[in-house]
Structure 1
Amino acid sequence: MKIFLYIVIPIFAFSVIFVNAFFGHLIFASETQQVINKYSVYVHLLSEWQSDSKNIIFEVTNSWHKSDKDSEINHIFDAESKAYNTNQLQEINGKSFVELKHEFSECQEDWQPMLYRKAVDTVRHEIEYIQGKQLSSDPDISIYPNIENTNYDNLEQQLKIKNGYVQFFPICTSKEITSYDYSVKTDNKDLGFDVYFVSSSEQSENFGDSQFYSYTELGCFGENKQSFSGSCKNIKKDSGLLVVLPDELKPWTTKVTVNLYETN
Protein backbone atom coordinates (compact mmCIF):
# COMPACT_ATOMS: atom_id res chain seq x y z
CA MET A 1 0.00 0.00 0.00
CA LYS A 2 2.82 2.41 0.90
CA ILE A 3 4.59 1.70 -2.37
CA PHE A 4 1.33 2.39 -4.20
CA LEU A 5 0.94 5.77 -2.46
CA TYR A 6 4.57 6.70 -3.11
CA ILE A 7 3.88 6.19 -6.81
CA VAL A 8 0.39 7.70 -7.04
CA ILE A 9 0.97 10.89 -5.01
CA PRO A 10 3.93 12.17 -7.09
CA ILE A 11 2.06 11.37 -10.30
CA PHE A 12 -1.00 13.24 -9.04
CA ALA A 13 1.08 16.24 -7.94
CA PHE A 14 2.85 16.39 -11.30
CA SER A 15 -0.49 16.16 -13.09
CA VAL A 16 -1.89 19.10 -11.12
CA ILE A 17 1.14 21.24 -11.99
CA PHE A 18 1.03 20.17 -15.64
CA VAL A 19 -2.68 20.83 -16.03
CA ASN A 20 -2.40 24.21 -14.30
CA ALA A 21 0.52 25.28 -16.48
CA PHE A 22 -1.14 24.50 -19.81
CA PHE A 23 -4.88 24.53 -19.17
CA GLY A 24 -5.40 26.64 -16.03
CA HIS A 25 -6.81 29.54 -18.02
CA LEU A 26 -9.45 27.18 -19.46
CA ILE A 27 -10.29 25.45 -16.18
CA PHE A 28 -11.10 28.78 -14.53
CA ALA A 29 -12.74 30.45 -17.51
CA SER A 30 -15.82 32.01 -15.99
CA GLU A 31 -19.25 31.27 -17.48
CA THR A 32 -20.56 34.39 -15.73
CA GLN A 33 -18.00 36.59 -17.51
CA GLN A 34 -16.09 37.24 -14.30
CA VAL A 35 -12.35 37.78 -14.11
CA ILE A 36 -10.59 36.71 -10.91
CA ASN A 37 -7.16 37.87 -9.80
CA LYS A 38 -5.74 36.36 -6.62
CA TYR A 39 -2.55 38.06 -5.50
CA SER A 40 -0.42 38.71 -2.43
CA VAL A 41 1.24 41.84 -1.07
CA TYR A 42 4.20 41.36 1.27
CA VAL A 43 5.21 44.39 3.34
CA HIS A 44 8.35 44.82 5.44
CA LEU A 45 8.46 47.90 7.66
CA LEU A 46 11.91 49.42 8.11
CA SER A 47 13.52 50.67 11.33
CA GLU A 48 11.57 53.97 11.49
CA TRP A 49 8.42 52.10 12.43
CA GLN A 50 7.56 51.57 16.11
CA SER A 51 5.93 48.16 15.62
CA ASP A 52 7.62 45.16 17.24
CA SER A 53 6.69 43.13 14.17
CA LYS A 54 7.82 44.54 10.83
CA ASN A 55 5.94 42.19 8.49
CA ILE A 56 2.44 42.31 7.00
CA ILE A 57 0.91 39.93 4.44
CA PHE A 58 -2.18 40.89 2.44
CA GLU A 59 -3.98 38.06 0.63
CA VAL A 60 -6.26 39.63 -1.99
CA THR A 61 -9.01 38.35 -4.27
CA ASN A 62 -10.38 40.79 -6.85
CA SER A 63 -13.29 39.74 -9.09
CA TRP A 64 -14.79 41.94 -11.79
CA HIS A 65 -16.93 41.79 -14.95
CA LYS A 66 -15.31 41.37 -18.33
CA SER A 67 -15.98 44.16 -20.78
CA ASP A 68 -18.13 43.33 -23.82
CA LYS A 69 -15.08 43.74 -26.03
CA ASP A 70 -12.92 41.41 -23.94
CA SER A 71 -15.59 38.71 -23.74
CA GLU A 72 -15.42 38.23 -27.53
CA ILE A 73 -11.71 37.44 -27.42
CA ASN A 74 -10.21 34.09 -26.44
CA HIS A 75 -7.47 35.16 -24.02
CA ILE A 76 -4.62 32.83 -23.19
CA PHE A 77 -2.62 33.50 -20.06
CA ASP A 78 1.13 33.66 -20.68
CA ALA A 79 3.05 33.73 -17.41
CA GLU A 80 6.24 34.82 -19.19
CA SER A 81 4.64 37.78 -20.96
CA LYS A 82 4.41 39.94 -17.85
CA ALA A 83 6.30 40.49 -14.62
CA TYR A 84 3.80 39.44 -11.97
CA ASN A 85 6.14 40.36 -9.14
CA THR A 86 7.06 43.95 -8.29
CA ASN A 87 9.36 45.03 -5.47
CA GLN A 88 9.33 48.69 -4.41
CA LEU A 89 10.80 50.86 -1.65
CA GLN A 90 8.15 53.35 -0.53
CA GLU A 91 7.43 55.83 2.25
CA ILE A 92 4.46 56.84 4.43
CA ASN A 93 4.62 59.73 6.92
CA GLY A 94 8.41 59.80 6.65
CA LYS A 95 8.69 56.06 7.42
CA SER A 96 10.05 53.63 4.82
CA PHE A 97 8.84 50.17 3.87
CA VAL A 98 9.41 47.57 1.17
CA GLU A 99 6.40 46.27 -0.76
CA LEU A 100 6.43 43.10 -2.88
CA LYS A 101 3.41 42.25 -5.02
CA HIS A 102 3.10 38.65 -6.22
CA GLU A 103 0.83 37.64 -9.14
CA PHE A 104 -0.80 41.09 -9.36
CA SER A 105 -2.36 41.42 -12.85
CA GLU A 106 -2.94 45.23 -12.81
CA CYS A 107 -6.40 44.62 -14.32
CA GLN A 108 -4.79 44.26 -17.75
CA GLU A 109 -5.28 40.58 -18.56
CA ASP A 110 -7.89 37.86 -18.35
CA TRP A 111 -5.81 36.16 -15.69
CA GLN A 112 -7.17 33.24 -13.68
CA PRO A 113 -5.95 31.89 -10.33
CA MET A 114 -3.46 29.05 -10.10
CA LEU A 115 -5.09 25.64 -9.73
CA TYR A 116 -3.49 24.87 -6.37
CA ARG A 117 -4.39 28.29 -4.97
CA LYS A 118 -8.01 27.96 -6.05
CA ALA A 119 -8.21 24.50 -4.45
CA VAL A 120 -6.65 25.65 -1.17
CA ASP A 121 -8.94 28.69 -0.97
CA THR A 122 -12.02 26.53 -1.58
CA VAL A 123 -11.11 24.13 1.24
CA ARG A 124 -10.33 27.01 3.59
CA HIS A 125 -13.66 28.64 2.73
CA GLU A 126 -15.61 25.49 3.62
CA ILE A 127 -13.80 25.13 6.96
CA GLU A 128 -14.45 28.78 7.87
CA TYR A 129 -18.11 28.42 6.87
CA ILE A 130 -18.54 25.47 9.23
CA GLN A 131 -16.78 27.41 12.01
CA GLY A 132 -19.03 30.45 11.51
CA LYS A 133 -16.13 32.67 10.46
CA GLN A 134 -17.51 32.79 6.92
CA LEU A 135 -21.13 33.79 6.18
CA SER A 136 -21.25 32.79 2.50
CA SER A 137 -21.68 29.19 1.37
CA ASP A 138 -20.44 30.13 -2.12
CA PRO A 139 -16.68 29.39 -2.30
CA ASP A 140 -16.26 32.22 -4.82
CA ILE A 141 -17.65 34.89 -2.48
CA SER A 142 -16.41 35.68 1.03
CA ILE A 143 -18.59 37.54 3.53
CA TYR A 144 -17.10 38.04 6.99
CA PRO A 145 -19.04 38.87 10.17
CA ASN A 146 -18.83 42.41 11.52
CA ILE A 147 -16.46 42.11 14.49
CA GLU A 148 -15.46 45.21 16.44
CA ASN A 149 -12.04 45.63 18.02
CA THR A 150 -12.71 45.64 21.77
CA ASN A 151 -9.13 46.27 22.93
CA TYR A 152 -9.73 50.03 22.83
CA ASP A 153 -12.45 52.43 21.63
CA ASN A 154 -12.89 54.22 18.30
CA LEU A 155 -11.52 57.52 19.58
CA GLU A 156 -8.23 55.89 20.53
CA GLN A 157 -8.19 54.08 17.18
CA GLN A 158 -8.38 57.38 15.30
CA LEU A 159 -5.36 58.65 17.23
CA LYS A 160 -3.40 55.46 16.60
CA ILE A 161 -3.93 55.26 12.84
CA LYS A 162 -2.83 58.83 12.06
CA ASN A 163 0.73 57.55 11.71
CA GLY A 164 -0.22 53.99 10.82
CA TYR A 165 0.38 51.83 7.76
CA VAL A 166 -1.87 52.52 4.75
CA GLN A 167 -2.41 50.02 1.91
CA PHE A 168 -4.40 50.76 -1.27
CA PHE A 169 -6.12 48.02 -3.31
CA PRO A 170 -7.39 49.15 -6.74
CA ILE A 171 -10.68 47.94 -8.15
CA CYS A 172 -10.91 46.67 -11.72
CA THR A 173 -13.76 47.66 -14.03
CA SER A 174 -14.55 48.51 -17.64
CA LYS A 175 -17.17 51.06 -16.52
CA GLU A 176 -16.90 54.70 -15.53
CA ILE A 177 -19.15 54.14 -12.49
CA THR A 178 -19.62 50.81 -10.71
CA SER A 179 -20.41 49.16 -7.37
CA TYR A 180 -18.35 46.76 -5.26
CA ASP A 181 -18.92 44.35 -2.39
CA TYR A 182 -15.92 43.77 -0.16
CA SER A 183 -14.79 41.96 2.98
CA VAL A 184 -11.69 42.34 5.17
CA LYS A 185 -10.35 40.47 8.19
CA THR A 186 -7.11 40.24 10.15
CA ASP A 187 -5.58 37.53 12.32
CA ASN A 188 -4.09 40.16 14.67
CA LYS A 189 -6.38 40.16 17.72
CA ASP A 190 -4.57 43.01 19.51
CA LEU A 191 -5.67 45.88 17.28
CA GLY A 192 -8.29 47.07 14.82
CA PHE A 193 -8.10 48.20 11.22
CA ASP A 194 -9.94 50.97 9.40
CA VAL A 195 -11.20 50.42 5.85
CA TYR A 196 -12.37 53.08 3.39
CA PHE A 197 -13.42 53.16 -0.24
CA VAL A 198 -11.56 56.09 -1.81
CA SER A 199 -11.60 57.78 -5.23
CA SER A 200 -7.98 57.03 -6.17
CA SER A 201 -4.60 55.78 -4.94
CA GLU A 202 -3.63 59.40 -4.17
CA GLN A 203 -5.81 59.24 -1.06
CA SER A 204 -3.32 56.86 0.56
CA GLU A 205 -0.89 59.80 0.66
CA ASN A 206 -3.59 62.17 1.94
CA PHE A 207 -4.70 59.94 4.80
CA GLY A 208 -4.50 61.72 8.13
CA ASP A 209 -4.71 65.28 6.77
CA SER A 210 -7.45 67.65 5.63
CA GLN A 211 -7.13 66.63 1.96
CA PHE A 212 -8.20 63.05 2.62
CA TYR A 213 -11.47 62.13 0.95
CA SER A 214 -13.37 58.86 1.14
CA TYR A 215 -16.84 57.73 0.14
CA THR A 216 -19.03 58.45 3.16
CA GLU A 217 -22.16 56.51 2.20
CA LEU A 218 -23.22 53.72 4.55
CA GLY A 219 -21.34 50.54 3.67
CA CYS A 220 -18.35 52.32 2.12
CA PHE A 221 -16.23 52.35 5.28
CA GLY A 222 -15.59 50.63 8.59
CA GLU A 223 -13.60 51.79 11.62
CA ASN A 224 -11.79 49.88 14.35
CA LYS A 225 -12.70 46.43 13.02
CA GLN A 226 -11.14 42.98 13.20
CA SER A 227 -13.54 41.61 10.58
CA PHE A 228 -15.87 43.54 8.28
CA SER A 229 -17.97 43.30 5.10
CA GLY A 230 -19.65 46.08 3.17
CA SER A 231 -20.99 47.28 -0.16
CA CYS A 232 -20.11 50.59 -1.83
CA LYS A 233 -22.18 51.87 -4.75
CA ASN A 234 -21.59 54.44 -7.49
CA ILE A 235 -17.82 54.59 -7.25
CA LYS A 236 -15.48 55.83 -10.00
CA LYS A 237 -13.28 53.49 -12.03
CA ASP A 238 -10.04 54.73 -10.40
CA SER A 239 -11.38 53.97 -6.93
CA GLY A 240 -10.07 51.38 -4.52
CA LEU A 241 -10.10 50.09 -0.98
CA LEU A 242 -7.85 51.62 1.66
CA VAL A 243 -6.88 49.49 4.69
CA VAL A 244 -5.17 51.24 7.61
CA LEU A 245 -3.35 49.55 10.53
CA PRO A 246 -1.90 51.22 13.64
CA ASP A 247 1.88 51.25 13.99
CA GLU A 248 1.64 48.86 16.94
CA LEU A 249 2.06 45.42 15.38
CA LYS A 250 3.12 42.69 17.81
CA PRO A 251 6.06 40.30 17.26
CA TRP A 252 4.52 38.06 14.62
CA THR A 253 3.51 38.54 11.01
CA THR A 254 0.12 40.23 10.67
CA LYS A 255 -2.08 38.73 7.96
CA VAL A 256 -4.94 40.67 6.36
CA THR A 257 -7.38 39.04 3.92
CA VAL A 258 -9.14 41.30 1.41
CA ASN A 259 -11.93 40.34 -1.02
CA LEU A 260 -13.34 42.64 -3.72
CA TYR A 261 -16.31 41.80 -6.00
CA GLU A 262 -17.80 44.00 -8.72
CA THR A 263 -21.59 43.71 -8.48
CA ASN A 264 -23.02 45.48 -11.53
Structure 2
Amino acid sequence: MIWMEDFATAEKEEVEGRFDLSTTAVTPVQISKEFLPSRARYLRAWYRISISIKTYSAEKNIESTIGPQIAVLRLWGDVWKQNNKIYLYSDPASENVRGYLNLEPFMLSWTEGNDIERIPDECQITLEIEYDPGKTLNRTSCPEVVREADPEIGCRTELSETGITVDYRGQIKGEGWNHRLPMDIKYAYPIDDRLLVLLRRGTEGVSDPNVECKPSRNILYFDSGGNIKWRAQPSKANDGEQTHYRNLWRYDDRLLARTAAQSYVELDAETGSVI
Protein backbone atom coordinates (compact mmCIF):
# COMPACT_ATOMS: atom_id res chain seq x y z
CA MET A 1 0.00 0.00 0.00
CA ILE A 2 1.10 3.57 -0.75
CA TRP A 3 -0.04 6.30 1.64
CA MET A 4 0.28 10.10 1.67
CA GLU A 5 -1.03 12.87 3.92
CA ASP A 6 -1.08 16.49 2.87
CA PHE A 7 -3.05 19.73 3.15
CA ALA A 8 -5.18 21.00 0.29
CA THR A 9 -7.38 23.95 -0.53
CA ALA A 10 -10.32 24.20 -2.94
CA GLU A 11 -8.98 26.51 -5.64
CA LYS A 12 -11.54 26.33 -8.43
CA GLU A 13 -14.68 24.53 -9.54
CA GLU A 14 -14.77 22.76 -12.88
CA VAL A 15 -17.73 22.63 -15.26
CA GLU A 16 -18.49 19.03 -14.23
CA GLY A 17 -19.07 20.12 -10.61
CA ARG A 18 -15.67 18.91 -9.43
CA PHE A 19 -13.28 20.88 -7.24
CA ASP A 20 -9.54 21.18 -7.82
CA LEU A 21 -7.84 20.67 -4.45
CA SER A 22 -4.40 22.25 -4.63
CA THR A 23 -1.95 20.36 -2.40
CA THR A 24 1.57 20.89 -1.06
CA ALA A 25 3.37 18.03 -2.76
CA VAL A 26 1.47 17.42 -5.97
CA THR A 27 -0.58 18.97 -8.71
CA PRO A 28 -4.28 19.27 -7.82
CA VAL A 29 -6.45 16.37 -6.75
CA GLN A 30 -9.84 16.68 -8.43
CA ILE A 31 -12.97 15.37 -6.69
CA SER A 32 -16.73 15.75 -7.11
CA LYS A 33 -18.15 18.47 -4.88
CA GLU A 34 -20.70 16.15 -3.24
CA PHE A 35 -17.83 13.94 -2.02
CA LEU A 36 -16.46 16.73 0.18
CA PRO A 37 -17.54 17.18 3.83
CA SER A 38 -21.00 18.74 3.76
CA ARG A 39 -19.89 21.79 5.77
CA ALA A 40 -16.97 22.55 3.46
CA ARG A 41 -18.22 22.53 -0.11
CA TYR A 42 -16.99 25.98 -1.02
CA LEU A 43 -13.98 27.61 -2.63
CA ARG A 44 -11.11 28.66 -0.34
CA ALA A 45 -11.88 25.90 2.19
CA TRP A 46 -8.84 24.02 3.54
CA TYR A 47 -8.66 20.29 4.23
CA ARG A 48 -6.26 17.73 5.62
CA ILE A 49 -6.30 14.92 3.11
CA SER A 50 -4.88 11.40 3.25
CA ILE A 51 -4.63 9.11 0.23
CA SER A 52 -4.06 5.36 0.36
CA ILE A 53 -3.66 3.20 -2.72
CA LYS A 54 -3.81 -0.59 -2.69
CA THR A 55 -4.64 -3.43 -5.06
CA TYR A 56 -8.34 -3.47 -5.86
CA SER A 57 -10.53 -6.38 -4.71
CA ALA A 58 -14.27 -6.60 -5.25
CA GLU A 59 -14.57 -8.09 -1.78
CA LYS A 60 -13.25 -4.97 -0.10
CA ASN A 61 -15.55 -2.31 1.33
CA ILE A 62 -16.10 0.47 -1.21
CA GLU A 63 -18.79 2.34 0.73
CA SER A 64 -18.13 6.00 1.47
CA THR A 65 -19.06 7.98 4.58
CA ILE A 66 -19.63 11.71 4.27
CA GLY A 67 -20.24 13.89 7.32
CA PRO A 68 -20.18 17.62 8.11
CA GLN A 69 -16.42 17.75 8.78
CA ILE A 70 -14.95 14.44 7.58
CA ALA A 71 -15.49 12.45 4.39
CA VAL A 72 -14.05 8.96 3.97
CA LEU A 73 -14.26 7.91 0.33
CA ARG A 74 -13.57 4.40 -0.89
CA LEU A 75 -13.31 4.58 -4.64
CA TRP A 76 -12.20 2.47 -7.56
CA GLY A 77 -9.13 3.72 -9.41
CA ASP A 78 -8.34 3.18 -13.09
CA VAL A 79 -4.70 4.03 -13.80
CA TRP A 80 -3.87 5.71 -17.11
CA LYS A 81 -0.12 6.11 -17.06
CA GLN A 82 -0.07 7.73 -20.48
CA ASN A 83 -2.26 10.54 -19.06
CA ASN A 84 -0.36 10.64 -15.76
CA LYS A 85 -3.61 10.13 -13.80
CA ILE A 86 -5.65 7.72 -11.71
CA TYR A 87 -9.31 8.23 -12.62
CA LEU A 88 -11.75 7.75 -9.75
CA TYR A 89 -15.12 5.97 -9.92
CA SER A 90 -17.76 5.18 -7.30
CA ASP A 91 -17.54 1.49 -8.22
CA PRO A 92 -16.02 -0.70 -10.97
CA ALA A 93 -19.28 -0.82 -12.96
CA SER A 94 -19.64 2.95 -13.14
CA GLU A 95 -18.60 4.95 -16.21
CA ASN A 96 -19.02 8.30 -14.44
CA VAL A 97 -15.63 9.77 -13.50
CA ARG A 98 -15.83 11.40 -10.05
CA GLY A 99 -12.35 12.92 -10.11
CA TYR A 100 -8.70 11.96 -10.43
CA LEU A 101 -5.34 11.82 -8.71
CA ASN A 102 -2.14 12.85 -10.44
CA LEU A 103 0.67 10.28 -10.64
CA GLU A 104 3.38 12.93 -10.43
CA PRO A 105 4.21 12.55 -6.71
CA PHE A 106 5.02 8.87 -7.20
CA MET A 107 7.62 9.71 -9.86
CA LEU A 108 9.42 12.57 -8.10
CA SER A 109 13.02 12.22 -6.99
CA TRP A 110 12.17 12.32 -3.28
CA THR A 111 10.46 8.91 -3.61
CA GLU A 112 13.94 7.37 -4.16
CA GLY A 113 12.81 5.60 -7.28
CA ASN A 114 9.82 5.28 -9.54
CA ASP A 115 7.04 4.39 -7.11
CA ILE A 116 4.58 4.37 -9.98
CA GLU A 117 5.61 0.72 -10.46
CA ARG A 118 3.98 -0.01 -7.08
CA ILE A 119 0.58 1.15 -8.34
CA PRO A 120 -1.53 -1.58 -10.01
CA ASP A 121 -3.57 -0.76 -13.11
CA GLU A 122 -6.75 -1.23 -11.10
CA CYS A 123 -6.69 -0.22 -7.46
CA GLN A 124 -8.75 0.75 -4.47
CA ILE A 125 -8.34 4.39 -3.42
CA THR A 126 -9.29 5.60 0.03
CA LEU A 127 -9.47 9.37 0.45
CA GLU A 128 -10.00 10.81 3.91
CA ILE A 129 -10.81 14.51 3.63
CA GLU A 130 -11.09 16.47 6.88
CA TYR A 131 -12.25 20.08 6.83
CA ASP A 132 -9.96 22.45 8.75
CA PRO A 133 -12.00 25.55 9.63
CA GLY A 134 -9.27 27.22 11.70
CA LYS A 135 -6.74 27.05 8.90
CA THR A 136 -9.36 28.21 6.41
CA LEU A 137 -10.14 31.39 8.34
CA ASN A 138 -6.47 32.08 9.15
CA ARG A 139 -5.29 31.77 5.53
CA THR A 140 -8.13 33.44 3.64
CA SER A 141 -7.94 36.96 2.26
CA CYS A 142 -11.75 37.06 2.09
CA PRO A 143 -13.02 36.27 5.62
CA GLU A 144 -16.48 37.64 4.89
CA VAL A 145 -16.90 35.16 2.01
CA VAL A 146 -15.73 32.27 4.16
CA ARG A 147 -18.03 33.22 7.04
CA GLU A 148 -20.98 33.40 4.65
CA ALA A 149 -20.20 29.88 3.37
CA ASP A 150 -19.69 28.52 6.90
CA PRO A 151 -21.41 30.66 9.56
CA GLU A 152 -20.01 28.42 12.35
CA ILE A 153 -16.37 28.91 11.36
CA GLY A 154 -13.85 30.05 13.96
CA CYS A 155 -10.10 30.48 14.36
CA ARG A 156 -9.59 27.15 16.11
CA THR A 157 -9.67 23.53 14.94
CA GLU A 158 -10.11 20.67 17.38
CA LEU A 159 -8.13 17.61 16.35
CA SER A 160 -10.30 14.70 17.39
CA GLU A 161 -7.44 12.18 17.16
CA THR A 162 -5.40 13.94 19.83
CA GLY A 163 -7.76 16.09 21.89
CA ILE A 164 -5.54 19.05 20.93
CA THR A 165 -7.00 22.38 19.81
CA VAL A 166 -5.03 24.38 17.23
CA ASP A 167 -5.38 28.13 16.83
CA TYR A 168 -3.52 28.92 13.62
CA ARG A 169 -2.72 32.40 14.88
CA GLY A 170 -0.10 30.73 17.07
CA GLN A 171 -1.51 28.70 19.94
CA ILE A 172 -2.02 25.00 20.71
CA LYS A 173 -3.79 23.54 23.74
CA GLY A 174 -3.87 20.03 25.14
CA GLU A 175 -4.90 18.46 28.41
CA GLY A 176 -2.93 20.32 31.08
CA TRP A 177 -0.82 22.42 28.73
CA ASN A 178 -1.10 25.57 26.63
CA HIS A 179 1.65 26.70 24.23
CA ARG A 180 1.86 30.22 22.85
CA LEU A 181 4.03 30.33 19.76
CA PRO A 182 6.18 33.15 18.30
CA MET A 183 4.86 32.56 14.75
CA ASP A 184 1.57 31.64 13.11
CA ILE A 185 0.94 27.96 12.45
CA LYS A 186 0.94 26.88 8.80
CA TYR A 187 0.45 23.09 9.14
CA ALA A 188 -0.59 20.91 12.08
CA TYR A 189 -0.51 17.13 11.65
CA PRO A 190 -1.85 14.92 14.46
CA ILE A 191 0.18 11.69 14.63
CA ASP A 192 -1.38 9.26 17.12
CA ASP A 193 -1.49 11.34 20.32
CA ARG A 194 1.27 13.71 19.23
CA LEU A 195 1.41 16.80 17.02
CA LEU A 196 3.70 17.91 14.19
CA VAL A 197 3.66 21.66 13.52
CA LEU A 198 5.23 23.91 10.87
CA LEU A 199 5.35 27.61 11.75
CA ARG A 200 5.10 30.42 9.18
CA ARG A 201 8.22 32.51 9.07
CA GLY A 202 7.62 36.27 8.92
CA THR A 203 4.51 36.15 11.12
CA GLU A 204 4.16 37.37 14.69
CA GLY A 205 2.25 34.56 16.38
CA VAL A 206 0.60 35.49 19.69
CA SER A 207 1.70 37.91 22.37
CA ASP A 208 3.84 36.65 25.27
CA PRO A 209 4.96 33.38 23.62
CA ASN A 210 6.19 30.65 25.95
CA VAL A 211 7.91 28.57 23.24
CA GLU A 212 11.14 29.60 21.50
CA CYS A 213 11.70 28.84 17.84
CA LYS A 214 14.45 29.95 15.46
CA PRO A 215 13.25 30.72 11.92
CA SER A 216 15.52 28.00 10.45
CA ARG A 217 14.07 25.35 12.81
CA ASN A 218 10.39 26.12 12.23
CA ILE A 219 9.12 22.51 12.41
CA LEU A 220 8.34 21.26 15.93
CA TYR A 221 7.18 17.87 17.17
CA PHE A 222 5.17 17.73 20.42
CA ASP A 223 4.53 14.57 22.43
CA SER A 224 1.22 13.72 24.12
CA GLY A 225 2.15 15.77 27.19
CA GLY A 226 2.87 18.90 25.16
CA ASN A 227 6.64 18.54 25.51
CA ILE A 228 8.80 19.39 22.51
CA LYS A 229 10.28 16.11 21.32
CA TRP A 230 12.40 17.80 18.65
CA ARG A 231 12.92 20.89 16.52
CA ALA A 232 13.88 20.23 12.90
CA GLN A 233 17.55 20.44 12.03
CA PRO A 234 18.24 23.51 9.88
CA SER A 235 18.63 22.93 6.16
CA LYS A 236 21.12 24.84 4.02
CA ALA A 237 20.66 26.47 0.63
CA ASN A 238 23.17 26.08 -2.19
CA ASP A 239 25.13 29.09 -0.94
CA GLY A 240 25.62 27.43 2.44
CA GLU A 241 23.26 29.75 4.29
CA GLN A 242 20.58 28.30 6.55
CA THR A 243 17.08 28.45 5.09
CA HIS A 244 13.65 27.75 6.58
CA TYR A 245 10.97 25.17 5.87
CA ARG A 246 8.01 26.21 3.75
CA ASN A 247 5.97 23.03 3.19
CA LEU A 248 5.53 19.71 4.96
CA TRP A 249 3.77 16.44 4.11
CA ARG A 250 3.89 12.74 5.01
CA TYR A 251 4.64 9.93 2.55
CA ASP A 252 4.29 6.35 3.86
CA ASP A 253 6.24 6.52 7.16
CA ARG A 254 8.44 9.41 6.02
CA LEU A 255 8.41 13.18 6.63
CA LEU A 256 9.08 15.29 3.54
CA ALA A 257 9.57 19.04 3.45
CA ARG A 258 10.29 21.76 0.92
CA THR A 259 12.52 24.64 1.94
CA ALA A 260 12.44 28.31 1.01
CA ALA A 261 15.36 27.48 -1.31
CA GLN A 262 12.94 25.16 -3.20
CA SER A 263 14.82 21.97 -2.31
CA TYR A 264 13.22 18.74 -1.06
CA VAL A 265 14.36 17.51 2.35
CA GLU A 266 13.55 14.35 4.28
CA LEU A 267 13.49 14.54 8.07
CA ASP A 268 14.03 11.68 10.50
CA ALA A 269 10.64 11.18 12.17
CA GLU A 270 12.26 10.28 15.50
CA THR A 271 14.83 13.08 15.77
CA GLY A 272 14.00 15.82 13.23
CA SER A 273 17.47 15.47 11.68
CA VAL A 274 17.94 15.96 7.93
CA ILE A 275 18.46 12.59 6.25
TM-score interval (norm. to shorter): under 0.3
**Which one has more relative contact order, counting CA pairs under 8 Å at least 6 apart?**
1
More strand by share: 2
Could you state the TM-score of these two structures normalised by the residue count of structure 1?
A: 0.24
- Give the structure with the higher percent helix: 1
Q: TM-score, normalised by structure 2?
A: 0.23
